[in-house]
Amino acid sequence: MSGPRGLGGGLSGGNLPPALQQQLAALANQSGGRADAAQLMASLGGAGLGPLVEGHLKNLMGKPSGFIEELPTKIQGRIEYLRQLQDKHADVEEQFQEELAALRAKFLTLFEPLYVKRRAVVTGAEEPPAVTTSEELSTEQDDQADVPAGIPEFWLNVLRANSVIQAKLTEKDEEILQYLEDISAAPLTPHSAPTASKPSEEDDTADAAKQEKKQRGFTITLTFRENPFLSNRTLTKSYYMVDEEEPILERAEGTSIQWSAGKDPTRKLVRKKAKGRGGKGGGQAAMKYEPVESFFNFFSPPAVPQGDEEPDDEAMEALQAAMEEDYEIGDIIRSKLVPKAVSWYTGEEAEDSDEEYEDDDEEEDDDDDEIEDEDDDDDDDDEEAEKDAEGVELIKPKSRSKANGAGLPKGKQGEAGEQQPPECKQQ
């Protein structure tokens, strides 16, 4: 699954790493200064940082590259005409996106009654009508008095079935998720997803309205029944996207969870002994909370530092990876688990996913075989063939002296006994 092309803002363009500034400048130059910010960020692919680079992009907009101005006047006129055609194409594309959003909203309203019925059955609020199925149900007679209401731990097992989310679950998380009644997902409306910054007075009203209209995103809601772990009945996580056509994540926001005393699974209390005089132990022990891995960290998403703080390249890469992982989990819940919850519960959907992975693995194995065949051919070429005086071909064995790495595994022999990685072959 491909994640969003960028991540939330709060930093000016001047805080971008130099390498990224150069990349943005090159892209703007190639476009002749006519590409907008969204087009440039889309061109960046995984390197795009959403609103983080927006300030820097605005400084590049409208700057001529010098290439167009050097062309003959007639050719410049033809190029300008093509630009006008492209503008009309953009208008049609915008209309397409509007109608697509309207169509999506229409069918979401048709899905909703189905989700309501599912929730009623899962929680035990309603019993389903007599079900006709192609497969025979168990003929064993159950003691009706012992049958629990609804489907116990339905959503916990749905979450467990997905490998990405299952890796985030701890035993404490699962104790809490036993009380989970429902998971739902819904798109954000333009008015429910305000932009991070208000337009200035100099902004054109139409442009401001257009930007608000483009604001997209979705909200995930987890609903719990009464339990001893948290007082929140619902937990929400909202993703705010700059543009739905080219999904650029602006920011994510989660519910502040009200945990019962001693029930927070996202942290643990650690006793640390203070050093006494002279650096020796014996001082008074200090109690301190430390964060731990938990599924519920999902509701405290990573955020771009605010203010004058300027993260280095390594910190920025770590932030980008964290936000992409956070978005991946949200997208899995919204687009996979919510629509096909029962298939994940029964394991059918997980099996289908495994088959897809197996197909990918087989393709990778085929590629590896081809690479190995090529490597074998290279080895044959490396062997030096000579002929003696009678014309008999002699194969000179490779030296196995200590200086050439005698005794090392194949593929790890190098000059002066240095070990080389397997893929590094001495020519």
Q: Of 19-28, 74-83, 243-252, 270-279, which gets the smallest average pLDDT?
A: 19-28
The position carrying tokens 């599912």 is 118
Q: Of 66-75, 245-254, 353-362, which gets the smallest average pLDDT?
A: 353-362
Q: Of 224-238, 253-267, 279-293, which gets the smallest average pLDDT?
A: 279-293
Residue 42: what pLDDT?
52
Q: Of 100-104, 244-248, 326-330, 380-384, which gets the smallest average pLDDT?
A: 380-384
Residue 408: what pLDDT?
34
Q: Of 20-24, 131-135, 148-152, which gets the smallest average pLDDT?
A: 20-24
* Residue 359, amino acid: D
Residue-wise pLDDT tens digits, 275-310: 666 556 566 778 888 999 999 999 999 887 776 777
Domains of the chain, start order: 17-70 (no CATH), 151-196+208-273+285-305+312-363 (3.30.1120.90)
pLDDT at 252 over 70: yes
Instruction: Pick the more confident residue, 213 or 400.
Output: 213
Whether the model clears a pTM of 0.85, i.e. scores above it, the answer is no
Task: Give the mean model confidence (pLDDT) for residues 199-228.
Answer: 69
pLDDT at 165 over 70: yes
DSSP structure string for 104-148: HHHHHHHHHHHHHHHHHHHHTSSPPPPPP-SSPPP-PPP-GGGPP
Residue 388: what pLDDT?
42
Question: Which residues sit opposite 393 in a β-bridge?
Answer: 387
Q: Of 38-42, 216-220, 301-305, which gets the smallest average pLDDT?
A: 38-42
Please give the mean pLDDT across all residues of the chain. 73
Residue-wise pLDDT tens digits, 129-139: 877 665 666 65
Task: Give the mean model confidence (pLDDT) for residues 92-99.
Answer: 92
Confidence of residue 410 (pLDDT cuts 50, 70, 90): very low
Q: Of 4-8, 56-60, 143-147, 216-220, which gets the smallest average pLDDT?
A: 4-8
Interior CA angle at 136 toward 132 and 139, to 5°?
Answer: 115
Closest Cα to residue 254, out of 305, 295, 291, 297? 297
Confidence of residue 360 (pLDDT cuts 50, 70, 90): low
pLDDT at 369 over 50: yes
Residue-wise pLDDT tens digits, 61-81: 555 567 888 889 999 999 999
pLDDT at 146 over 90: no
Residue-wise pLDDT tens digits, 317-353: 888 899 999 999 999 999 999 999 999 999 999 766 6
Q: Is the CA virtual torsion 375, 378, 382, 383 positive or negative?
A: positive
Q: How many CB atoms lie within 10 A of CB 101?
A: 16
pLDDT at 403 over 50: no
Confidence of residue 248 (pLDDT cuts 50, 70, 90): confident
Closest Cα to residue 52, out of 8, 96, 93, 110? 8
Residue 66: what pLDDT?
74
Residue 119: what pLDDT?
97
Instruction: Output the 3-class SS for 314-336.
Output: HHHHHHHHHHHHHHHHHHHHHHH
